Amino acid sequence: MNKVCKHFSQCGGCTSQDILYPMQLKMKEEEIKKMADFFSLKTEIKPINHFSPFFYRNKMEFTFSSDEEKKVICGLHSKKGDVFDLEECLIFSPYTGEILRIVKDYLKDRYPAYNKFTHQGFLRHLIVREAKSTHQLMIGLVTTSMFYLEKEKFLKLLLSSSWGGKISSVYWVINDSVADAVIFQKKELIYGEPFIVENIGDFSFHIFIDTFFQTNSVGAEVLYKKIEEYAQLKGKEKILDLYCGVGAIGIFLSKKVEFVWGVDVEKSSIESASLNAKINNLTNISFICADVKKFLINFKLPQPDLVVVNPPRCGLSKKIKKHLVKLRPPYILYSSCNPSTFFVDLKDLGEFYNVEFIEPFDFFPHTPYVECLGKLTLRKK
């Protein structure tokens, strides 16, 4: 029997935690092989990469709610869809229980939890980020504008805790949207630096409260090293990094190529990517804020030797695939957290490219999710 969280029976997250981890890996490998067969992709399926199955996540978003006695609770969504009070989270941080306990004990008698049905209340979410390499913590309290947060008292509580010395950043985020999600309508840094630092390989990355970053930092480093290995870089390559986010993959490859262009539609991501390039003293990388489809349609850069693609879960649209093929890069390295769209895209691109291999990465132990990497080589006419 695997080590099981006390909330396993009710939490909607780690649905496979009661299965021995080696068996989980085998199941995921088999699922990838079945999908390859289903899409008639005759290619090598490499062994799944795996990492520590516990305390691997670098970010969690917890939700405030009220229990049957109208008391403030904070936790995750249960299998039924309601919020349950959380005491531990074995996939995030050893500090999870203590952080939630201290925050709830302070806030519960001062402010009401937000009700997503009546749209009344104050406390909405608690964001906690933990850099796995530096162990720095970032806390983000998400509320409505219904009340004013007593910031000094809240900070004193956090900083006086046993883990207070690890806190590098605290934000107060205002979200009056009716959507049941974290939306950064207004954010205020109330303590420390605006970022925490995560080290991946030889590079440092500044992670802000609203930054999208690979959830599994340890796994991300292995993935980036594999991409570098499979790219077989000689030093003269020009690389196009589509859906670059904060620039992690492009930055990781930059010291072994001539130039990298990163493209992403999110302005905040491009700003973070440019900052990350600067703090790593890189001059051969540039980031472009643009919609990927429009960028490829109006492509005006030098011909890339390699295109790296890491799209959102929805994968690539038909037009993006059409114009990517039209660009005819000799190689494409495609990574995705959604095997369903990943295989559809590989099947479509396979009309013009050979799929050399598919390699899974277990970024999400105890869940059904898996990251995949594929290498595609342009077929000769």
Inter-residue contact 273 to 279 (CB < 8 Å): no
| Helix runs in 65-196, H state only | 96-107, 151-159
Cβ(249)–Cβ(241) below 8 Å: yes
The answer to whether residues 242 and 307 touch, using CB atoms and an 8 Å cutoff, is yes
Alpha carbon distance 58, 197 (integer Å) = 12
Could you tell me how many residues make up the chain? 381
Catalytic-residue membership of 14 = no
Decide if 84 contacts 76 (C-beta within 8 A): yes
Choose the catalytic residue: 74, 244, 337, 372: 337
**CA distances for 174 relative to 80, 184, 215, angstroms:** 28, 7, 24
Distances in whole angstroms, Cα of residue 40 to Cα of each of 5, 291, 336: 39, 31, 19
Strands, E, within 133-273: which ranges? 137-143, 167-174, 186-192, 196-200, 203-207, 238-242, 259-264
Catalytic residues: 337
